[in-house]
Amino acid sequence: MLSEFFARVRHEAILSLTGLRESVVSIAERANRQVQIVKLHAQSSSIVDQLNTHFVALGAVLAEQLPTEPSRRHALFLSEPAPPLGQRLQKTQQHIQRLRRELRHLTHQITEIETETLTDTLLRIHRDLTSRGGAVERVVLQPGSPAMGKTTPEFERATRTRLIAVCRGPALLTAFDHLTLAPGDVVLLIGSRRSLSEAISTVSGPAKASL
Residues 6+ apart with CB under 8 A from 165: 172, 173, 174, 175, 187, 188
State the CB neighbour count (10 A cutoff) for residue 14: 10
- pLDDT bucket at 110, cuts 50 / 70 / 90: confident
Question: Parallel, antiparallel, or unpaired for β 186-192 and 162-168?
Answer: antiparallel
Q: Is 18 exposed, middle or buried (0-12, 13-18, 19+ CB in 10 A)?
A: exposed
Residue 9 has pLDDT above 50, yes or no: no
Q: Is the pTM of this model over 0.85?
A: no
Mean pLDDT of 27-51: 82
Q: How far apart are CA 96 and CA 57, in angstroms?
A: 12
Amino acid making up residue 19: G
Written out in words, the top-level CATH class of the domain with range 134-203 is: alpha beta
Least confident of 53-62, 98-107, 185-194: 53-62
Residues 6+ positions from 14 with CB-CB distance below 8 Å? none
Q: Which residues contact 172 (CB under 8 A, 6 or more apart)?
A: 165, 166
Q: Can you name the residues that pair with 186 across neighbouring β-strands?
A: 140, 167
